[in-house]
Chains A and B, each alone.
Chain A
Amino acid sequence: MSNVFQLVWLIPVLPLLGFLINGLGRKQVSKTAAGIIGSGTVLSSFVISLLVFLQLNSGNIPKEAFHYFDFINIAALKIGFDFQIDQLSSIFLLIITGVGFLIHVYSTAYMHDEEPKDFAKYFAYLNLFVFSMLLLVMGANFVIMFIGWEGVGLCSYLLIGFWFKNTNYNIAAKKAFIMNRIGDLGFLLAVFWLIAKVGSVDFHTVFETVPTLFTSGSITIVDITGITLLLFVGAMGKSAQIPLYTWLPDAMAGPTPVSALIHAATMVTAGIYMIARSNILYTMAPVTQCVVAIVGLSTAILAATIALKQNDIKKVLAYSTVSQLGYMFLALGVGAYTGAVFHVMTHAFFKALLFLGAGSVIHAMSGEQDIRNMGGLKKYMSITHITFLLACLAIAGMPPFSGFFSKDEILAGAFASSPLLWGVGVVGAIMTAFYMFRLYAMTFLGKFRGTSEQEHHLHESPKAITIPLIILAVLSVIGGWIGIPEIFMHGGHRLETFLSPVFAQSNALIAKHHISHTTEYILMGISVGAALIALLYAWNKFSKYQKTDKEETGLGKVLANKWYVDELYDSIIVKPLLSIAKYFSNVFEKKGIDGLVNGVGKAVNYGSRQIRLIQSGQVGTYVLMMVLGILIFFIIQLFL
């Protein structure tokens, strides 16, 4: 066992340190210091994760989790504060710390207009996020994972609402948090269910014992399905799937790097990580898998359709993220776990790149986000333009860019389980290509449509922005080559071989279905071809786009308004809830319960007022009462 593993705990702790320093000393530290601390910590944990990865790659893998201290330790339940390092988590570690680092660097430039203490605060939050995300992926049991899980939710809340003076941003942040919360409840319930059934939350224990318990019958298929479904609810919230996806587009209120890091590269993929982590459970619950696949696919399509009509550069990217996430869930649903993870990785590269590029554009346009007021930017900001184009190609799934490999793998998996899924998937892919290039064309091609004073200080962004762009561009070009399918190159899929131990159990259960190479070629051809056509169509349609103020009509309007989903939620959930609350607090509480309580008091008062009238002051009455009393007593005593 190499001593690198003794440093594992540093990976999350370093960003935490960064958070503490920047957070507590936000008044003292200068901008540069804050930037250096922020990025430096993440960089160093990246280095460590790299070392860890190399260790794993060289085949020495820690047998069990690293135990640090007891979190909860009672007779009924033991939950340690444990980290688990295996292939899966190491991949994610690399993505998080790597992309995270780049985005930190990017941010130093992007946020430089902020006041020093806000600047420091921003980096503090960013580090805190990285810390939580690392907890999420390193946690060796569901509870630690959940800690990270909610932690990232919190950070996204804080960062979306970073400019807290703007109420709409706060509301967006709140929405994000609450929708995540809804998902988290699913997660929690699943955990409780596990505790009740398995009596443990450790990944090792659970994944070892569940199959045996299942065969022994002490866990039924119902339990497993329930648990997995509930976990998936959690994933829905975190990874913005139907019906809990609406928060993600609103989350674009946050600073662009945040959108890149949290809402594209890392946090939103937590759901995929979690399901991939507990793949065995899912493999044992086909119903759930089916649900996952369907939800994923429909999300992919729905989001894609919406993206077709969005004009806010970040909104388009947001919806494309949602739809890409949908693809990943599709992959998980059809049991192509490797594919999902693969796509997470590539997506992290190109989507981060897209966002950062968009950020650079917005930066150049001094805050303008509406692509209808852009255009022809390619002659002002070439690096941004190039990298953006590469990213678009990647996401559109053009070979040999990274997106192609991962998406192709997913589609292949889908086809294997049912051609229908594949078909729909392809449609999604086509739309992806279309809206991405609509975006690209309207932004960079044609002639500039913005105001003149926007125009004359258009400029290429500084190094700190462009370098990350370039690095990411490279990655999103070559990133896919670690997963070259069999048909091109035998043993080319290094990722699969690397990850295979993680999914060993599931793969044992899944019947390995082979698609003949010819079919695979055909599929590939169709999807790529279709996408290409859509791409070219969008290219020349929108490169000569003119600003028109004619209203969208028909389907276009519906799409532009995102299928009115927000309005729907508002009217069937939010409003009724609020009115009930209103009724309770104004009527039921006051009139009902408290009314009852006070009613007793009133009754006593009333009784008092009445009963004292008997005290008439007349001796005659008094004596009469006495005599009556005597009579009653006599009757009771002598005749009853």
Chain B
Amino acid sequence: MNAIIFTAIWGVVMMLGGAFIKSKTTPKYLAIFGLTVILLLNCLEMNSGMPLFAVELKGMLDFKSFNLTFINVAYGCTLLFFLLNGRDIEKVGENVSEYFALIFFILSGVALISTFSSLLILFIGIEIVSIPLYILTGSDKRNLKSNEAALKYFLMGAFSTGIMLLGIAFLYGGSDIGTFNINLMISGNAPMPAMIAAGLVLLLVSMSFKVSAAPFHFWTPDVYDGAPTVFTSFMATIVKAAVFFAFVRLFENAFGSMHKQWQTLIVILIAATLLIGNLTAVFQQSVKRMLAYSSIAQAGFMLFSLFALSSLAKEGLVLYAAAYSLASIGIFAILVRMKDYTIDGFNGLGKQQPVLAVTATVFLLSLTGIPLTAGFQSKFYMLMAAVQNGQHIWLVIFAVLCAAISAYYYFRIIQAMFFKENNSDVELAEDITPAFKTLLVITSILIIALGLYPKLLTDWLYF
């Protein structure tokens, strides 16, 4: 509860701050301070199990430590994001504090959808996450790409909201006890009535849209490409992970009991997502767009948690969220500072900026899923969960083959950085501060630590 309340409040604070603070840099520090406090408060709630305010939940929210841990992960990543990209947020436009405010609202939405237990909260939460994102996407107002991305995102987002609502409606109508509470909605694994099925499919579709799983992923590349890179980084990592978490919780609690009946759909989703994501990423020349596609590919792996729906899978999901977010934030942070977003723009970075290059390599290796990195552990968990599930081993094999393809495009950047020479001696990256480098190093150390000893994270999930 703390997380939700205080992020909302802090959002307001940032908003009002915008009116009074003239300096461009202050909001950043304000935001970092606020987020740190909120993170601590959330930890407090985790340990004590007691929020600061006793609010009657009425079965709307569910604060078990699992969910709170995820909030921690999400907020932690956001903090890192602030630290790494604060300066870049300032560069986007004039209304710096508003951007931060919006991000805080999104965070409260994140907290909502990772603790919801009523479809209403899910709906509102998703909207709270989406609407500010539409704006952030369009926040680079002079840039037509940004505008276009915003509109595309908005139209399709609204459309998928419609789909979702229809689904919810059918669920409400279909469940005998007419409720929006996901825990009570369905029990037993009797073949589901048509209305429930319809609702399920529609929800599945809209959620797949939000997590950009094929064939509902089409908005992703354009939006990620068009949006200002900082915000791309944010929405491609934290938001996406959060929505995924919501996705899994929804289907686990609401339809877990009849898992087998809808597994086929997930299988199709996974196969399509992995294939399209990886295949399309191969040919991209712009790193930004390539990362957009790769995020689709990663979603394909995360979907395994939905496919398996076991405790292993859920741990895996949290681990994956952390690993993926860390690595992506890192690589995006570096990308933002690059002058040229094409892969050739990275040529010879290894000589000019060794620290950047090495850390970037760690991030990319993690995304590829090379052992010793968190990326490997998370993929490993996912595969284990999938194999444990027993069916569709071919899908697992297919997945690892796709992972091999992913090596293909991730390593193109590594090759560019270390093994290709850039003829001109212009600066490839701008304002690389020591602090920035240190943060990158810390991030990569985190990644490797998680890769060596994932229990650092997974142990928090239950107690």
Contacts and interface: CB of A to CB of B under 8 A. Distances in A.
Nearest to B409: A608
B384 interface: no
Given A623-B159, A626-B159, A608 B218 contact: no
B265 A604 contact: no
B280 A634 contact: no
B276 A633 contact: no
A632 B214 CA distance: 13
B201 A622 contact: no
Nearest to B282: A608
A324 B279 CA distance: 74
A615 B226 CA distance: 14
B152 interface: yes
A623 B156 contact: yes
Interface in A589-640: 601, 604-605, 607-609, 611-612, 614-615, 617, 619, 621-623, 625-626, 628-630, 632-634, 636-638
Contacts of B343: none
B280 A608 contact: yes
- Secondary structure call for the A interface: helix
Contacts of A637: 197, 200-201, 262, 264-265
A633 B156 contact: no
Contact of A629 (B152, B215, B222, B280): B215
A615 B280 contact: yes
Given A637-B201, A637-B265, A638-B197, A605 B221 contact: no
Contacts of B152: 619, 622
Contacts of A622: 152, 156, 218-219
A634 B198 contact: yes
B180 interface: no
A622 B276 CA distance: 14
Given A626-B215, A626-B216, A633-B201, A608 B283 contact: yes
B205 A633 contact: yes
B282 A628 contact: no
Contact of A604 (B201, B202, B282): B282
What size tier do the contact residues of chain B reach? 20 to 34
A630 B264 contact: no
A51 B438 CA distance: 85
B282 A633 contact: no
Interface residues of A, number: 26
Nearest to A622: B218
B163 A612 contact: no
A601 to B, nearest CB: 8
B209 A626 contact: yes
A638 B279 contact: no
Interface string B265-292: 1001000000010011111100000000
A397 B433 CA distance: 102
Nearest to B160: A626
Contacts of B222: 615, 617
Given A604-B408, A615-B218, A615-B221, A626 B283 contact: no
A601 B412 CA distance: 14
B262 A625 contact: no
Nearest to A603: B279
Interface in B208-244: 209, 215-216, 218-219, 221-222
Contacts of A634: 198, 201
A600 to B, nearest CB: 10
Contacts of A619: 152, 155-156
Nearest to A634: B201
Interface of A: 601, 604-605, 607-609, 611-612, 614-615, 617, 619, 621-623, 625-626, 628-630, 632-634, 636-638
Q: Which 4 A-B pairs have the closest CB atoms?
A: A622-B218, A608-B283, A608-B282, A629-B215
Given A611-B280, A626-B209, A634-B201, 13 more contacts: A608-B282, A609-B283, A611-B276, A612-B284, A614-B218, A622-B219, A625-B215, A626-B205, A626-B216, A633-B204, A633-B205, A634-B198, A636-B268
19 contacts: A604-B279, A604-B405, A608-B282, A622-B156, A623-B159, A625-B216, A625-B218, A626-B209, A626-B216, A630-B205, A632-B268, A633-B205, A634-B201, A636-B264, A637-B197, A637-B200, A637-B262, A637-B264, A638-B198
